[in-house]
Structure 1
Amino acid sequence: MRVTDLTLGVLTLLGGIAIYISAWGFKAIPGQAYGAGTMPRAIALVTVLTGLFIIVKAVMAGERVPGLQLADWTRSGGALLRVFAVLALILAYILLSPVLGFLPTAFAVMVLAMLVLRVRLIIALPVSLVAALAIQQAFGKLLLVPLPRSPLLTFLW
């Protein structure tokens, strides 16, 4: 798929505006000169400026209409089926991780996604295991992001 620069600029601009709007509801931190919305608003401002820059550059290069060209693989039914299967697996993770916990759900989703994308099982299993453990450690221990706990693996950290 090829996205024109004008399309990319418009999407970037709209994304920056959406980030800025979503940061409005963030509460101020007591005793701080800045609140929880400071960084999202700064990122939004940079994103909006980047989008405007891309739009101006595309218009100066002669682009007038945003466009999108689909790649040849999108005409293949099997490829589209794999795309939808991966999207279904992401939805399954969202629905199942609060019930089963992060580790088993992430492991299963990664293995199934790799199998759908034609990765051999001998590769998919260890890569999924290492990735799930690494993500759990990075987010759960280092960044202190509360990941869903597994009722099956209560003995782990």
Structure 2
Amino acid sequence: MRVTDLTLGLLTLLGGIAIYISAWGFKAIPGQAYGAGTMPRAIALVTALTGLFIIVKAVIAGERLPGLKLAEWTASTAALARMAAVLVLILAYILLSPVLGFLPTAFAVMVLAMLVLRVRLIIALPVSLVAVVAIQQAFGKLLLVPLPRSSFLSFLW
């Protein structure tokens, strides 16, 4: 799927406006000329200007209506089925990780997703194992993000 430039410009402009509006209520720091909303508003301004630039460029190029152009692979039912299977696996992770824990659930989901996407098992297993351990260490240990724990793998923490 390809988003037309006019659509992308409109979405970018609207995103910039939304960021600016959401930062409107941030309080100023007493005694300072700037506050918590300064950086979000600056980002919003740059985002909105980028959106306007993309819109002008698209109009000059002859685009008149926003829209989507579907990629060629969307005509393949097998590709759509693989995409749906990966979405089901993501939903399964959301539902099962609080019960089974992050490590076993994420490992199973990654292996199954790779198999659905036609990756060989001999590649899917080690890549999933390394990825799950790296994610657990990065988020669980380094960034202190509370990942769902498994009662039978609690020794890993």
Q: TM-score, normalised by structure 2?
A: 0.81
- Give ranges in structure 1 of 5+ residues lacking alignment: none
Q: What are the equivalent positions in structure 2 for 1:1-157 lying under 5 Å apart?
A: 1-19=1-19, 34-35=35-36, 42-157=42-157
3-state secondary structure, aligned to 1:149: coil
CA contact (8 A) 2:27 2:35 kept: no
3-state secondary structure, aligned to 1:138: helix
Identity %: 86
- Give ranges in structure 2 of 5+ residues lacking alignment: none
Deviation for aligned residue 1:113: 0.5
CA 1:141–1:41 in 2, change beyond 3 Å: closer, same or farther? Answer: farther
Stretch of structure 1 that moved more, 77-86 or 94-103: 94-103
Stretch of structure 1 that moved more, 111-120 or 3-12: 3-12
Equivalents in 2 of 1:25, 1:102: separation in Å?
A: 37
Stretch of structure 1 that moved more, 93-102 or 114-123: 93-102
User: How much is the aligned-residue C-alpha RMSD, in angstroms?
Assistant: 2.8
CA 1:69–1:42 in 2, change beyond 3 Å: closer, same or farther? Answer: same
Aligned AA for 1:110? M
Equivalents in 1 of 2:72, 2:93: separation in Å?
A: 30
Q: TM-score, normalised by structure 1?
A: 0.81
Aligned AA for 2:62? G
Aligned AA for 2:56? V
Equivalents in 2 of 1:17, 1:53: separation in Å?
A: 15
